Structure 1
Amino acid sequence: MKVFISADIEGTAGITAWDEAKKGHPEYEEFREYMTDELVAACEGAKAAGAKEIVVKDAHSTARNLILSKLPAYVSIVRGWSGHPDLMMFGIDKSFSAALYTGYHNKAGTDTNPLAHTLTGTVSRLLINGEVASEFTLNALCAARYGVPSAFLSGDAGMCAEAKAIAPGIGTVATSEGFGPATRSLTPKAAVASIREGVEKALSGDLKNCLPKLADRFELVVEYTTPIEAYRGSWYPGVEHIAARTLRFEAKDFFEIQRAIRFIV
C-alpha cells in the first residue's frame, strides 16, 4: 500500500489565532510542532495498516513547516510550491492507494474554525458546480482524478462533517470546534492518539465510498473580497467577469479547473 498525506496547520488541535499559524510569530513554533506530531501520528497509523511507502506534502503557507527531524525514516516529503496546479496535492499520482489529510480547516465564511478560509484571504467564496467548496473539496477531487480515494481527514468538526458529505466513507478525527474567535479542542496528546488510531482503522477498511464521483462538466465560480482581485484574474483565458467581484470558468476536465485556480486565485 502506498499512501499520500497532505498536511495543513489551521485544523491542528488547539490552534485558535492566526499568529499561531504564521512563520515569524513566536507562537508559530509551538503549533508547528503540533502540526508535525499529528502528521507523524498519521504516518504511524498508515504503517500499522500496511503502508509500504508514504509521501507527505507540506501544504501550509510556505510549504516549509514540518520539523523534518521528527519524521519517520520510511517517509519522503515534498516541500515548497512547484507551481503545478495540484497545489496542496503535488506529488500524488495513480500509483497511490489512498490520500490522507491532517490539520485541515473549513472553508471561507464558515464559523466552525476561527481560521476558516479557502486558499487565500482574497477569496470570499469558491464554488464548484454551484456548491461552496473547501480546500478539501478541491484536493479530494484532485485525488479522484488519479483514481485515489480520500480515506482520512483530521481537522475542525465542521470540516470533518463536510468531508463526509463529499466522501461518505472517509474516516475523521475532529480536533476542535470553533465558537466565534474561540475554540474547544482536544489536547495535542489526545489528538495524536486519535489520529494514529483513526488512520489505521480507515486504511484497514473498505475504501470504495471514499472516492468522490467526478462530474461530466465543471463550473468554477470565484467570489473575491475586492473587485481588484477579480479584475486581475479576469485575463485568464476563458474566464467570464460576471460581476464586480466574481469570475466564472467552465471546463470538462477537473484539471482545467485546477489550472485556472492556480492562476486566478
Structure 2
Amino acid sequence: MKVFISADIEGTAGIAHWDEADRAHADWAEFRALMTAEVVAACEGARAAGATEVVIKDAHDSGRNLILDRLPDYARIVRGWSGHPDGMMFGLDEGFAAAVYTGYHSKAGSEANPLAHTSNLRISRLLLNGEVASEFTVNALCAAGYGVPSVFLAGDRGICAEARAMVPGLATAETLDGKGSATTSISPSWSRRLIREGVAGALSGDFAQALPVRADCYEAVIEFNNPSDAYRAGWYPGARAHGPRAVAFAHADYSEILRALVFLKA
C-alpha cells in the first residue's frame, strides 16, 4: 500500500503568527521541526496500517521545510515546486491507495485561523462552483481525479469541519482554533498522537468511498485584493473578468482548472 502525504505548516499544532511560517524568521526553525514531527507521526500511522511506501510533498512556501534526517526509511519526499498543475499534490498518481493531509489551514476569508489563506496572500477568496474553496478543496479534487481517496486531515478546527463535510468518511485531528490574532492549540505531543492513531485507524478501515463529489463542469473564480492582479490574470486564455477585482475560468475537465490556477494566481 502506497500513501501520499501533503504537508503544510499553518495548521500545525501551536502555530499563531506568520513569523513562525517564514523561513527568513528565527521562529521558523521551531515550527519546521513541529511540522516535521507531525509528518513523521502520519508516516508511523500509515506504516502501522500496512503502508509499504509513503511519499511526502513538502507543500509549504519554498517546499523546503521538512527536516529530512528525521523521516523514516520507507518515505520518499518531493521538495520544491515543479510547476506541475497538481501543486501541493505533485507526485500523486493512480498507484496510491490514499491521501493524507497535515498542517492544513482554513481558507482565505475565514476567521478560524489568523494564518488563514488560499495559495497566497494576494487572494481574498477562491470560489469553485460558487462555493468559497480552500487549498484542501482544490487538493482533494485533484486526488479524486486519480481515483485516490482522501482519508485523513490534521489542521485547524475550521478546515477539519470543511473537510469532513466535503469528503464522506474522512477522519480529522483538530490541532487549534483561532480567534482574532490568537490561537488556542492542543500540545504538539498530543497532536502527534492523534495524527498517528488517526491515520492508522483511517487506513485500517474501509476508505475506498472517501471521495468528494465531482461536478460535470467547474468554474473557478479568484477574487484578488488588488484589481491589477485581476487584470493581469484575465489575459489567460479562456479567462474572463468577474467584477473589478476578480477573474473567472470554467472548464468541464478539472485538470484544466488546476492548469489555469497555476497561471491565474501567479
TM (normalized to structure 2)? 0.99
Provide the C-alpha distance between the structure 1 equivalents of 2:242 and 2:10, rounded to a whole number of angstroms.
32
Residue by residue over 1:58-101, the C-alpha shift from the partner in whole angstroms, topping out at 9 and shown as x without a partner, is 00000000000000011000000000000000000000000000
C-alpha separation between the residues in 2 aligned to 1:52 and 1:208?
A: 18
With 125-134 and 206-215 compared, the bigger mean Cα shift is at: 206-215
* Cα offset, 1:244, TM superposition: 1.4
Structure 1 residue 53 displacement after superposition = 1.0
- The letter for the 1-side match of 2:138 is L
Which residue is equivalent to 1:141? 141
Query: Where in structure 1 do 4 or more consecutive aligned residues deviate above 2 Å?
Result: none
Deviation, structure 1 residue 207: 1.1
1:36-185 equivalences under 5 Å are: 36-185=36-185
What is the aligned-residue RMSD (CA, Å)? 0.6
The aligned amino acid for 1:80 is: G
Mapped partners of 2:227, 2:24: distance in 1: 30
Is the contact made by 1:170 and 1:209 (CA closer than 8 Å) also made in structure 2? no
Q: How much has 1:243 moved relative to structure 2?
A: 1.4
The 8 Å contact of residues 221 and 242 in structure 2, kept in 1 or not, is answered as: no
Q: Within 5 Å, which residues of 2 pair with 1:184-223?
A: 184-223=184-223
Q: Deviations over 1:149-185 (max 9, x none)?
A: 0000000011100000110210100000001100110
Q: Structure 2: which 5+ runs fail to align?
A: none
Q: Is the contact between residue 233 and residue 264 of structure 1 (CA under 8 Å) also seen in structure 2?
A: yes
How far did 1:213 drift? Answer: 2.0
- Check the 8 A contact 1:94/1:146 in 2, yes or no: yes
Q: C-alpha separation between the residues in 2 aligned to 1:14 and 1:67?
A: 18
Match of 2:242, SS state, is strand
Uncovered stretches (5+) of structure 1, i.e. residues with no partner: none
| Corresponding position: 1:6 with 2:3 | no
Aligned residues: 265
Structure 1: distance between partners of 2:184 and 2:244: 38
> Match of 1:15, as an amino acid?
I
C-alpha distance in structure 2 between counterparts of 1:234 and 1:189, whole Å: 46
Distance in structure 2 (CA, Å) of the matches to 1:109 and 1:224: 12
